[in-house]
Structure 1
């Protein structure tokens, strides 16, 4: 931050408010990670298969990822306040419309497409704000900001479960939608960027020999594609685990619906912790080695699930906690690496493009997990896939996830 400018000097001591605002906004947006609590009730109401009940969640994540690059193009023009408010309106409307659904297609439209687009619009705003206010400790600040997204199920999963028991899944959608509409709009109002936030790239260029890349320049580098593929692998495995957490607990470990919902809340703690932890780790040991460590944890968790059987609650808690931790980590590694590798001048656009990897991971993860359950009758075979993908991720990160040099173009 440019401390010699009066506006930034006054804001220096209160810049942490942007982390707090972003964290609370992300608590609302991250409720998508509580989807597994809705799956069984919706399967009963609409007579859905496992694949069908994953579709609203999948469409949510896809439109969430699709809208991110679009936001990157307008965020600097319209400012964080306006963009975040628009996103909050769509999130609330989407949840409310989902509550009036009478079939799967309307669930997909309301929850998946409209709410998913709203989250995609709003999600990147607090991240960009924190990244530009905290360029001295960017990874940690971004990690704290997205902590709310990962920790959301800790709060929203038990609340949603209780509301579903009392009112059913559809009225629960409406209640939550109204709350999100109000909260996100109100907390978006104070959001703003620091004055002349572009100034640090010249410093980083001379200090670290790293270019400030435009989106066109970025996509021509091997580093971008390595980061993109690592992001796909990390999110595919993590989102697959998140989407099946409650069903796996009930079907394989034989937990009650209530116990499975509690376990989702426990996993949310690790998803949340993974964000500031891996943000800090990325600052300390570089994105390359943070990614390798992340994939190693994912591999160990996947192998652990090979042995999961009825009654093995501790194994279930450990393995899924690691998987949620790993996904949370990628939601810090990816934005921090984008700024470190490609600079902050075009950060909003560049991270929006990278975030398409999240959408690809969401589509593949949900289609694979649902199909495997429908074909083989068990979710356990998903973990053979995540184990293999983890090894691939380690290899890509080790050989190709390196800083962009001046001669790379």
Structure 2
């Protein structure tokens, strides 16, 4: 197929990728499955389990994704996304179905934790990097849309899963959702083609290099040999910590700090999720206009304000709490939406599947650091407030890193100009 045809077909490819991401984002609906599954296993085995006892399942699922993002990314860069999405879709849906036969926590760790988590990593890496390659003219927007559909799944899927569970039981819920998403992911994958090397949409010419953009295609080894990679990796970790601190414990925060009811705390969780999604798209569009790193610097500053609002919120301060949690949601979404395009800008698109998989390790680190800070501060003080001050420190460090990034690239440009003359 000629490049001219891909200029039209790329929108179909993006749509298919968004449908796939909507499905695989359902992994983050674990909180809907955990409580009824704990009740089921308790009755089955004559033990007393709670949702907290099953938390290890989600920890495993959330931790193993970068493994297949990197390994599947290499296959994607070499042979294209169809095979990667097919295998990943079978693993993701198969893990869900396998969980529908669970008789123990170990069974769930293998099914939901390993199979579903590894499948998600393969599929997510392939859809994001392929979409980015087809839209060199709109990387921010496309990165925002692709990750937004992944994020909005945590709003749409839980009520659907809860309804199936109420009417048919928890095991049937796993099986039905697993089969449905296997079909959707694998069929949608056939509409996603490998992006031709050097693809340019009709009528578009690459802009001159900016501080965020380089024309070279770095292999993962070359990327690891640059100081820029480590700056961006730590920047991603710092920026994601604030969001993951709050996302992981949004409901307990609302109830313990503000005194909200269960229903009001659930509404706060939904608000956070929706603003997280909105932030991905809005920041993606903004980054196309003012630059990726400038957008992230703004997100770091706003995150400081959001965390401070949470720090000063007390019992009954619903408006202050909502203001803080809303800012944090938007800023966390900014980091998730901007980084796929930033990685491609910085290190090229040819090996972006592997490179973004490695860069995504910064998110996995933040996924451990953020919630751990919250738990340890609460255990030590009986309050979450001290954790917000630590989070502010991470955001300020992220802002400093954006400045270091710009200084580094100004120096590189000066050296290049001097060498040319």
TM-score by shorter chain over 0.5 = yes
Q: Which residue of 2 aligns with 1:187?
A: 188
Q: Which residue of 1 aligns with 2:69?
A: 68
- 1:395/1:86 CA distance change after superposition, 3 Å: same
Contact 2:197–2:350 (8 Å) recurs in 1: no
| Distance of 1:251 and 1:167 partners within structure 2 | 33
SS of 1:152 mapped into structure 2: helix
RMSD between aligned alpha carbons?
2.9
Instruction: Identify the structure with bigger relative contact order (alpha carbons < 8 Å, sequence gap 6+).
Output: 1
- 1:264/1:97 CA distance change after superposition, 3 Å: farther
| Distance of 1:376 and 1:162 partners within structure 2 | 39
| Distance of 2:348 and 2:175 partners within structure 1 | 41
- 1:207/1:390 CA distance change after superposition, 3 Å: closer
Q: Which residue of 2 aligns with 1:21?
A: 16
| Distance of 1:298 and 1:98 partners within structure 2 | 37
Match of 2:229 among 224, 229, 232: 224
| Distance of 2:183 and 2:144 partners within structure 1 | 25
- 1:162/1:32 CA distance change after superposition, 3 Å: same
Cα distance, 1:171 vs structure 2? 4.5
| Distance of 1:243 and 1:197 partners within structure 2 | 40
Which is further off, 164-173 or 183-192?
164-173
| Distance of 1:306 and 1:124 partners within structure 2 | 35
SS of 2:253 mapped into structure 1: helix
- 1:186/1:168 CA distance change after superposition, 3 Å: same
Contact 2:81–2:192 (8 Å) recurs in 1: yes
Cα distance, 1:56 vs structure 2? 2.5
Q: Which residue of 2 aligns with 1:9?
A: 4
| Distance of 1:100 and 1:245 partners within structure 2 | 31
Unaligned runs of 5+ in 1: 1-5
Cα distance, 1:319 vs structure 2? 2.2
Q: Which residue of 2 aligns with 1:87?
A: 88
SS of 2:350 mapped into structure 1: coil
Deviations 1:356-380 (A, max 9, x none): 1122122223433344455554544
| Distance of 1:370 and 1:107 partners within structure 2 | 24
TM-score by length of 2: 0.84
Alignment of 1:221-370 (within 5 A): 221-370=226-375
Contact 2:134–2:199 (8 Å) recurs in 1: no
Cα distance, 1:316 vs structure 2? 3.2
Q: Which residue of 1 aligns with 2:110?
A: 109
| 1:32 matches 2:3 | no
Deviations 1:195-246 (A, max 9, x none): 334679xx86974583332222211222111100011122233223222123
| Distance of 2:71 and 2:20 partners within structure 1 | 20
Cα distance, 1:108 vs structure 2? 2.8
Q: Which residue of 2 aligns with 1:177?
A: 178
- 1:71/1:195 CA distance change after superposition, 3 Å: same
- 1:179/1:218 CA distance change after superposition, 3 Å: same
Q: Which residue of 2 aligns with 1:384?
A: 389
- 1:67/1:30 CA distance change after superposition, 3 Å: same
| Distance of 1:356 and 1:120 partners within structure 2 | 11
Which is further off, 216-225 or 233-242?
233-242
| Distance of 2:379 and 2:100 partners within structure 1 | 27
Contact 1:282–1:336 (8 Å) recurs in 2: no
Q: Which residue of 1 aligns with 2:49?
A: 47
SS of 2:64 mapped into structure 1: helix
SS of 1:306 mapped into structure 2: helix
Q: Which residue of 2 aligns with 1:3?
A: none
Cα distance, 1:83 vs structure 2? 0.6
Deviations 1:268-312 (A, max 9, x none): 221111112111222222222111111122222211112334443
| Distance of 1:40 and 1:314 partners within structure 2 | 30
| Distance of 2:6 and 2:85 partners within structure 1 | 21
Contact 1:28–1:152 (8 Å) recurs in 2: yes
Tell me which structure has the larger Cα radius of gyration. 2
SS of 1:47 mapped into structure 2: coil
Cα distance, 1:123 vs structure 2? 0.2
Q: Which residue of 2 aligns with 1:153?
A: 154
